[in-house]
Amino acid sequence: MKIHTRKKAAGKKPFKCNICEKCFTRDSDLTRHTRLHTGEKPYKCDFCKRTFYDNCRLAKHVREHTGGRQFTCDICDKTFSVNSSLLTHYRTHTGENPFSCDICGKGFSTNPLVLRHAKTHSDENKCNVCDTGFTSKNALVNHVRKLHLGERRFKCNTCDRRWSSRNDLSKHMLTHTGEKPFQCDICNRGFTRRSDLERHFRMHTGETPYKCNFCGKEYAQQAGLAYHVRMHTG
């Protein structure tokens, strides 16, 4: 009842992350979220010693050892404990985006991604300077500080580099600690940032989401498109 009341009380989220300032309705949700920054995986599988961020993911994984019903991808042989997870996984191979934004028509692989993207169209999360939309107020604030104000308030104690947000600093710290919390499901390669994992994943899926407006040529990475566009613009 207390959790329900917090959700209904005008979106009240009293538990705040000290690293990226994201807020949560429950203390347990904040604890799980914090592990994304620290790389902590306290739940260990007794069969193969693989570790997980939370107990739910461990429980799903254990079913693969205990003979629970398995759903196997016929492309990469990865197994899943529930059929819905397999169907979602298939989209990483096919590039299918069955869920689209009602406003701009952009496609996504899951409905939660559409709901998250929809926030970028809200005037509340739109930059007054360049009209760019963001998924949260914090993302908008960090954007303004970084690109329009040039603020870099957060300093790395190891190399003295400065960053515009606590989240950027926490990601940078992983380069010093060697932690790689984001792992590819197909080849198990680890990455320090989620964006690096997403770029890497396109090597497996063949996805090319960045398209040239001049000639229509497509690229897997934004940097590749930017380099190509210079050939048109001089």
Average pLDDT over residues 215-222: 83
* Full-model pTM: 0.42
Ramachandran area for residue 95 (φ above 0: left; ψ -120 to 50: alpha; else beta): left
Residue 114's pLDDT is 86
Q: Which superfamily, per CATH, for 13-94?
A: Classic Zinc Finger (3.30.160.60)
Three-class secondary structure of residue 124 per DSSP: helix
> Given a cut of 80, is residue 7 above it in pLDDT?
no
Which secondary structure element, helix H or strand E, spans residue 57, and what is its range? helix 55-66
> Given a cut of 80, is residue 47 above it in pLDDT?
no
Mind listing the pLDDT tens digit for each residue in 63-75? 777 666 567 787 7
Please, are residues 41 and 35 in contact by the beta-carbon 8 Å criterion?
yes
pLDDT band at 10 (very low <50, low <70, confident <90, very high): very low
The label of the residue with tokens 């498109």 reads 225
> Given a cut of 80, is residue 120 above it in pLDDT?
yes
> Given a cut of 50, is residue 174 above it in pLDDT?
yes
Give percent of the chain above pLDDT 70: 93
Average pLDDT over residues 196-212: 80
Average pLDDT over residues 120-145: 84
pLDDT band at 150 (very low <50, low <70, confident <90, very high): confident
CA distances from 112 to 100, 115, 118, 127, 175 (A): 11, 5, 10, 23, 30
- Which regions of the chain carry the CATH code 3.30.160.60? 13-94, 181-234
R_g (Cα) of the chain, nearest Å: 20
- Residue 111 buriedness (CB in 10 A; 0-12 / 13-18 / 19+): exposed
Query: Reduced to 3 DSSP states, what percent helix, strand and coil does the chain have, rounded to the nearest 5?
Result: 45, 15, 40
Average pLDDT over residues 157-162: 86
Phi, psi (5° rounding) for residue 11? Answer: 70, 30
Residue 31's pLDDT is 84
pLDDT higher for 72 or 157?
Answer: 157
Residue 205's pLDDT is 75
> Given a cut of 80, is residue 121 above it in pLDDT?
yes
CATH of range 181-234; options 3.40.30.10, 3.40.50.300, 3.40.630.30, 3.30.160.60: 3.30.160.60
Q: Please give the Cα distance from 192 to 223 (Å, whole number).
A: 19
